[in-house]
Structure 1
Amino acid sequence: MNMNSISVLKLVLFIFWPWLVNSKGEQNRLLVNMTLVQNATALGAYCLDGSLPAYHLHRGFGAGVDNWLLQFEGGGWCNDIKSCLDRSKSNHGSTRYMNKWEVFSGILSNNASFNPDFYNWNRVKIRYCDGASFSGDAKFYNGTSLLYFRGQRIWQAIILDLLPKGLGHAKKAMLSGCSAGGLATFLHCDNFTSYLPNNASVKCLSDAGFFLDERDIALNHTMRSFYEGLITLQGVEPNLNLNCTSTLYYPHLCFFPQYALPFIETPFFILNSAYDVYQFHHILVPPSSDPRRHWDHCKLNVTACDTSQLNILQGFRIDMLTALRDFYQNSTRDGMYINSCFTHCQSETQDTWFAAGSPRIHNKTIAETVGDWYFSRNISKEIDCAYPCDTTCHHMI
């Protein structure tokens, strides 16, 4: 094979690779190539290791050509130098280690059968490489190790890169995210709105990002302490909601969605499990609170939980619903879908977003409820009955 033939083959693969059948024979598996933000250096916007930030963009078409969906990637956080150094050598701290092609499914799918309301929008996956939900602005250097805590600048650099590509004249737009990316949606929702035309319909969706300020089973504020370290290390506090930080005695609490939510002015949708697996394992029962590992079996299989453990889990659900009470009762523009599945992140996976066997509340899928909310077709506030009543769940444990 000569060089010209190889070049043609590469071109054909580049064009058609996203639609090829994979090794398991799965059809309609959309793979989208990575775009590095070359102008990020002008803003000092770097991943933890100094590499360029990135996103994946799949263009909209037809009636959705002027509509935009941005999805923050999730992946936890780092709150000290060691954990951030470790992270900088992984796909959550450096674009050098990331897959250059990303699967777009669920809310990112381009297939109307799988994603009926947003399939033809411009859809963007924002890669996560800072460790603070895109909110830090600091730098660490001790003569040997260099770390960039530049999540806030990464967010700005990506937005500025997308505006001339069509985002700047969007007619409809939604900012979304999963897990740590879902938390980023709370932190950046109103800022996202400020970049877009005044007549655009702009809304925000957080999936599995409503992390509670909750005591663990040993009555310690483990998650609060973790976030305090993160906020201090990465210089987050100046980038939190100013109306929130000026109101609370402890401004760093505004990193928690329950405290920031009342100050968000853009219409908002909260998608969360009342038994979110990440929160179960890291907020309610972190390893530090269970040194004798009484919860190990329960964490691995909810059917192995004893009565006392189930009562504690039911109490966690009640606390989540209590934190959401004003949002549920007093807001007419907002939406929510709180189901009772032991899971984490449900918008990016096809079988939980919109499929024949997807989770349902009152016979409504997550995709249908989010679509009804965004397009104001119906009241979209769904709260599931307590575990184990829901037989449609896709449990992770």
Structure 2
Amino acid sequence: MVGARLPQWLSLLVYVLILLKAEGGSVGITYLQDAVAKGAVCLDGSPPAYHFDKGFGTGVNNWLVHMEGGGWCESVETCLSRMKTDLGSSKQMVKQFGFSGLLSGQQKSNPDFYNWNRIKVRYCDGSSFSGDVEAVNPANNLFFRGNRIWEAIIDDLLAKGMRNAKNAILSGCSAGGLASILHCDRFRALLPATTKVKCISDAGFFLHAKDVSGGQHIENFYGQVAKLHGSVKNLPASCTSRMRMRPELCFFPQYVVQTMQTPIFFINAAYDSWQIKNILAPSDADSGKAWKSCKHDLKKCTTEQLKVIQDFRAQFLSALTGAGNSSSRGMFIDSCYAHCQAGKQITWSSNNSPAVGNTKIAKAVGDWYYERSPVQKIDCPYPCNPTCPKTDSESQVPDI
């Protein structure tokens, strides 16, 4: 009856709102105005922000902090471009954000974490929350303060009750997944010894590898990010103290996780679509565009290209397993062509979610966090897994 009386567009709006409610609701934004005085600001100087859905019932003292992804900026020019978007300014961010997947507030779709305090930290610094340059160049008015943003938001959440957490998780997707690795042990150190603290990195294990031309595209890129943002001093000291000659390489997880103390879970596609497009076959290394079709659809790869991609998978698995195979570490490495899989219901725990050994991501993460069973799932090589989505599930992560 209601739908019959409403204009078509309004009926559609009601339908969308019902879907949002079913999935966990739309969560309002919180601007951290007090952080501005501490210099903890986005690229454009606007205050940092997050979305906070409060816990309830048995989850009232449990906290899940999830850091948004969105690539990086390695030059003044690329940072100026970001400054005009929600990846560089909280002025451009949506006021409401729908929580789904790992952040869902619905028990059916997220049984282990639905009633926790769930926070989505917005990403507006372009350095995986690692930068801190005091001076601001008046010629461009850019602020490189990612590490201050992370500290200010965590301090705010501690004051809002996280300091009394019984359980706590630091997670993130893509650049946020890298941040969850870089900040994991620091997060553990800020919480009581009695708190069960673990971290989750979704599509954040970026590989230190050569590109198809034999060049070091991603190494050079991360080096530029670290230099521009002043990141090195905020990378894990347990890594930089070992990599004294090349401390900027501690942007790569394979070197950081060797000395990490906090339990961590890796959700990653062995054929990570962003990594194949930007680490293995970036445009700069493919002047003849021989990889253009292949890197957007693996079915269009030649036999030789598939061999190169399978070798890339082997390098990835070697770096991941060689970085320490502690029983406290978990992993879900599927053979999908995807990037970021925990934040969407379709890949987290729906009927069509990818599975490895009949286990979906949501169950794997829950079993690992609550120690119901060890979880180290590594899929067979492409194209063996029929549960993988037919299309690239990559979230909106800029190419480099």
Query: TM-score by structure 2 length?
Result: 0.92
Q: Quote how far apart the aligned CAs of 1:26 are.
A: 6.3
Equivalent residues of 1:277, 1:396 under 8 A apart = no
Residue 220 of structure 2 corresponds to residue 230 of structure 1: no
Equivalent residues of 2:27, 2:99 under 8 A apart = yes
Aligned to 1:363: 358
- Mapped to 2, the partners of 1:27 and 1:136 lie a distance apart of 36
- Mapped to 1, the partners of 2:194 and 2:138 lie a distance apart of 50
Aligned to 1:295: 291
**What amino acid does structure 1 have at the position aligned with 2:321?**
R
Task: Tell me the secondary structure at the aligned position of residue 268 of structure 2.
Answer: strand
Equivalent residues of 1:140, 1:147 under 8 A apart = no
Match of 2:242 among 219, 243, 247: 247
Equivalent residues of 1:21, 1:27 under 8 A apart = no
Aligned to 1:5: none
Equivalent residues of 2:270, 2:333 under 8 A apart = yes
Greater Cα shift, 292-301 or 216-225: 292-301
**What amino acid does structure 1 have at the position aligned with 2:126?**
G
Aligned to 2:306: 310
- Mapped to 1, the partners of 2:361 and 2:172 lie a distance apart of 15
Match of 1:221 among 216, 221, 224: 216
Equivalent residues of 1:37, 1:54 under 8 A apart = yes
**What amino acid does structure 1 have at the position aligned with 2:283?**
P
Q: Quote how far apart the aligned CAs of 1:281 are.
A: 0.3
**What amino acid does structure 1 have at the position aligned with 2:280?**
L
Q: Quote how far apart the aligned CAs of 1:357 are.
A: 1.3
Residue 257 of structure 2 corresponds to residue 266 of structure 1: no
Equivalent residues of 1:139, 1:146 under 8 A apart = no
Q: Quote how far apart the aligned CAs of 1:316 are.
A: 0.6
- Mapped to 2, the partners of 1:339 and 1:87 lie a distance apart of 31
Aligned to 2:22: 28
Residues 135-192 of structure 1 show CA distances to partners (whole Å, capped at 9, x for unaligned) of 0001564433211100000001001111121111000000000000000001100111
Match of 1:212 among 176, 188, 207: 207
Greater Cα shift, 44-53 or 237-246: 237-246
Aligned to 1:107: 102
Aligned to 1:130: 125
Distance 1:25 1:213, change over 3 A: closer
Q: Quote how far apart the aligned CAs of 1:23 are.
A: 6.7
**Number of equivalenced pairs:** 378
- Mapped to 2, the partners of 1:139 and 1:146 lie a distance apart of 12
- Mapped to 1, the partners of 2:390 and 2:151 lie a distance apart of 36
- Mapped to 2, the partners of 1:389 and 1:104 lie a distance apart of 31
- Mapped to 1, the partners of 2:191 and 2:14 lie a distance apart of 35
Equivalent residues of 2:255, 2:323 under 8 A apart = no
- Mapped to 2, the partners of 1:237 and 1:209 lie a distance apart of 18
Distance 1:23 1:157, change over 3 A: closer
- Mapped to 2, the partners of 1:260 and 1:25 lie a distance apart of 40
Residues 13-33 of structure 1 show CA distances to partners (whole Å, capped at 9, x for unaligned) of xxxxxx964179666141100
Aligned to 1:257: 253
**What amino acid does structure 1 have at the position aligned with 2:89?**
S
**What amino acid does structure 2 have at the position aligned with 1:48?**
L
- Mapped to 2, the partners of 1:293 and 1:266 lie a distance apart of 42
Match of 2:341 among 341, 346, 349: 346
Q: Quote how far apart the aligned CAs of 1:252 are.
A: 0.7
Matches within 5 A, 1:1-397: 21-22=15-16, 28-29=22-23, 30-139=25-134, 141-248=136-243, 249-327=245-323, 330-397=325-392
- Mapped to 1, the partners of 2:300 and 2:357 lie a distance apart of 28
- Mapped to 2, the partners of 1:326 and 1:219 lie a distance apart of 23
Equivalent residues of 1:177, 1:185 under 8 A apart = yes
Residues 265-316 of structure 1 show CA distances to partners (whole Å, capped at 9, x for unaligned) of 1101111001000000000000011111111111222111110111011001
Unaligned runs of 5+ residues in structure 1 are: 1-18
Query: TM-score by structure 1 length?
Result: 0.93
- Mapped to 2, the partners of 1:25 and 1:337 lie a distance apart of 28
- Mapped to 1, the partners of 2:118 and 2:19 lie a distance apart of 25
- Mapped to 2, the partners of 1:120 and 1:243 lie a distance apart of 34
Unaligned runs of 5+ residues in structure 2 are: 1-12, 393-400
**What amino acid does structure 2 have at the position aligned with 1:22?**
V
Task: Tell me the secondary structure at the aligned position of residue 238 of structure 1.
Answer: helix
Greater Cα shift, 197-206 or 317-326: 317-326
- Mapped to 2, the partners of 1:139 and 1:167 lie a distance apart of 29
Task: Tell me the secondary structure at the aligned position of residue 342 of structure 1.
Answer: strand
- Mapped to 2, the partners of 1:334 and 1:188 lie a distance apart of 16
Aligned to 2:7: none
Task: Tell me the secondary structure at the aligned position of residue 242 of structure 2.
Answer: coil
- Mapped to 2, the partners of 1:25 and 1:104 lie a distance apart of 11
Residues 249-268 of structure 1 show CA distances to partners (whole Å, capped at 9, x for unaligned) of 31111110000011211101
Equivalent residues of 2:68, 2:123 under 8 A apart = yes
